[in-house]
């Protein structure tokens, strides 16, 4: 090998070593990857106003055994608020994240009622709109349920709007993705009762 041939070979070897050192471990890549997850469990799709989405949500909440984690943009549904309060009363851990602006300025928000009933409520302030509409039921259990879609937790979402909802049951890797994201949002949110939260 001549000196001229040796230089590109040496540069290539140096690049390979640097990439090996700087690249994250495979496990870290997989944990943070957004690659498609393999299919598991069951999927149920509902569409309002034709389907009784609120009834399906109530049944799912009443079936919770360990925990319910909520992310809400608008929350005005009395039956859903009552179901969360009932779940807490029977020993289910209930935690709610809600959009601050919608909570403070939307008529008939049920978020203050939930906080007054002892539900762990925090408000999201970082985003222009905390627009997630998610229920995570028994997130760390053997039969978790992810509920997501366009459906706000409101009477209008059931009776007046065209909405979609997915119930994704028994898919533990998917629940882990959603639950990790919920926890990330919770770490950024402010507890409902903080005085600074109530000032605009």
Catalytic site residues?
Answer: 131, 133, 138
Give the integer Cα–Cα distance in Å for 55 and 149: 16
Query: Percent helix, strand, coil in the chain (nearest 5)?
Result: 45, 20, 35
Whole-number Å distance between alpha carbons of 24 and 191: 35
How many other C-beta atoms lie within 10 A of the C-beta of residue 137? 26
Q: How far apart are CA 56 and CA 149, in angstroms?
A: 13
DSSP structure string for 64-118 = -SSEEEEEES-B--HHHHHHHHHHHHTT-EEEEEEEHHHHHHSTT-SHHHHHHTT
Strand pairing category for 134-137 and 42-48: unpaired
Residue 91, token pair as written in the block: 């020993």
Q: How far apart are CA 153 and CA 81, in angstroms?
A: 9
């Amino acid at each position: 090998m001549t000196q001229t041939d040796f230089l590109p070979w040496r540069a290539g070897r140096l690049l390979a070593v640097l990439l090996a050192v700087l690249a994250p471990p495979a496990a870290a890549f997989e944990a943070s990857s957004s690659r498609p997850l393999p299919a598991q469990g069951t999927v149920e799709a509902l569409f309002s106003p034709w389907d009784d989405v609120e009834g399906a949500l109530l049944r799912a909440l009443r079936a919770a055994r360990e925990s319910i984690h909520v992310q809400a943009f608008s929350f005005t549904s009395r039956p859903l608020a009552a179901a969360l309060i009932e779940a807490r009363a029977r020993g289910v851990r209930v935690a709610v994240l809600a959009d601050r602006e919608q909570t403070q300025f939307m008529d008939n928000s049920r978020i203050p009622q939930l906080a007054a009933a002892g539900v762990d409520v925090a408000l999201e302030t970082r985003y222009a709109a905390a627009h997630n509409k998610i229920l995570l039921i028994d997130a760390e259990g053997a039969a978790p349920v992810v509920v997501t879609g366009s459906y706000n937790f409101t009477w209008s979402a059931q009776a007046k709007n065209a909405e979609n909802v997915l119930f994704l049951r028994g898919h533990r890797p998917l629940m882990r993705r959603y639950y990790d994201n919920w926890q990330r949002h919770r770490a950024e949110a402010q507890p409902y009762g903080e005085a600074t939260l109530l000032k605009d």
